[in-house]
Amino acid sequence: MKSTFILLCLLLFLSSVSGIDLSKFNTAYWYDPAAPLTIKSRVVQRSDNHHVFLSLRYNPSDTINMRLLLQTNYFDNTDRLLQAYEMDTLGGMADQVLLKLTFREVSEQLLVLEFELAGAYYYYPINLKRGRLNHPQFYPLQMNGIPLISSFLTSSSLKFNRDYTQDTLYFFQYKADFQPADPPTGIAHSVASRLLMDSVFISTQEVSLLQNHFYFIQSDTLSLEGLTLFMGPKHYPDMKLMAELIPPLTYFTSRSELDEIRNAKDPKIAFENFWLNIHISPEAAGAAIRSYYRAIKKANELFTSYKEGWKTDRGMVYIIFGNPDRVFRDNKKEIWLYGDIRFEFKIISNLFAPKMYVLLRDKGYEKIWIKKITDLRSAL
């Protein structure tokens, strides 16, 4: 259904405007659950067109102005207003709307969504190109026919929109059995050394996927394009089963404490006793558990790729330190600041994760990390 998006209250039709050096903007709102606007996107590259699916969550009583800008990179000193496009409203709820934006292929690398809300500006860059990798020509559909925007799903059945309905898709299935992120003071271990393929299959129809696996999906196995999806349990991104609740404790327990819980005759009782032992009352322990696993859930929502979000480098830092005060990103790195504490994530690419954020580890974090863990255990 073609429609005019009601949030587009003001569009400025200029051929070019002053460039926005995105690397200089604090974009901590990307990760803030209390931000007035949150965006998720998926890009499909088909023939000579870009299709960008957008999920926008906002307060419907707010008046929002939006511009669509094209830039070569984060440092660009000029940008161009995207003028020729189609926008469809695919669905929505009270505080959320799903859009499909279609426009001809452009030479620029970035589509920048600029929103003006209550006198403040918010920027959301979307990569139209992924380095040497291409966006896929197909996209996943939920069972209600609505495009799947997130990088994970919880329904075992999945459909796909293809150029032609009988086009074959190739599914490479991997067990999502990854270790949690290594501490910021150590050395990150290689993912490839633990990555074993379970099976390969092809399909032209609806497919059934296994929980706790990730899938790399291609329409052409010789191409540099593909789609990665993580298949979680029905309650994902929440953690509810004891087998799910225990592993995240690794970020603020000792190895012996964690082994004691895992190897206990009744892990549930050991889990509860752990929390009771580090807090002054059952009420405080209950509040601490809710706070910690609320952060785990948010990390899963924000950072899931081929593995659960809480196991990623950004997920680990987010869980322990919370929402960053300031965030700065450019083409090659993202920097998180908590006061004068600085974490830098290098952006690298592989076929499964076109943008993977790897923490630059340093032994200099040791005192900071130990103090934060100590504070966390005493004040959760």
pLDDT tens-place string over residues 332-373: 999 999 999 999 999 988 778 878 999 999 999 999 999 999
Nearby residues of 242 by Cβ (< 8 Å), 6 or more positions away: 267, 268, 271
b/e 162-190 (16+ beta carbons within 10 angstroms → b)? beeeeeebebbbbebebebbebbeeeeee
Is there a contact between 344 and 337 (Cβ–Cβ < 8 Å)? no
Is there a contact between 162 and 202 (Cβ–Cβ < 8 Å)? no
Can the peptide bond before residue 237 be classed as cis, meaning omega within 30 degrees of 0? yes
Report how many domains make up the chain.
Answer: 3
Residues 248 and 204 in one domain: no
Domain boundary among 127, 161, 196: 127
Q: In this model, does residue 96 exceed pLDDT 90? A: no
The range of the structural domain enclosing residue 93 comes to: 17-127
Side chain identity at residue 144, one-letter code: N
Q: In this model, does residue 194 exceed pLDDT 70? A: no
Domain boundary among 197, 231, 265: 231
Q: In this model, does residue 319 exceed pLDDT 60? A: yes
Share of the chain above pLDDT 70, in %: 92
Task: Identify the pLDDT of residue 192.
Answer: 53
Residues 121 and 214 in one domain: no
- Quote the pTM value: 0.91
In a domain, 181, yes or no: yes
* 139-141, strands of its sheet edge to edge: 139-141, 157-161, 207-208
Q: In this model, does residue 6 exceed pLDDT 50? A: no
Side chain identity at residue 95, one-letter code: D
In a domain, 4, yes or no: no
Segment 250-289, tens digit of pLDDT: 999 989 999 999 999 999 999 999 999 888 888 988 999 9
Q: In this model, does residue 141 exceed pLDDT 90? A: yes
Residues 224 and 178 in one domain: yes
Mean of per-residue pLDDT scores for the chain: 88
Task: Identify the pLDDT of residue 19.
Answer: 67
Task: Identify the pLDDT of residue 70.
Answer: 94
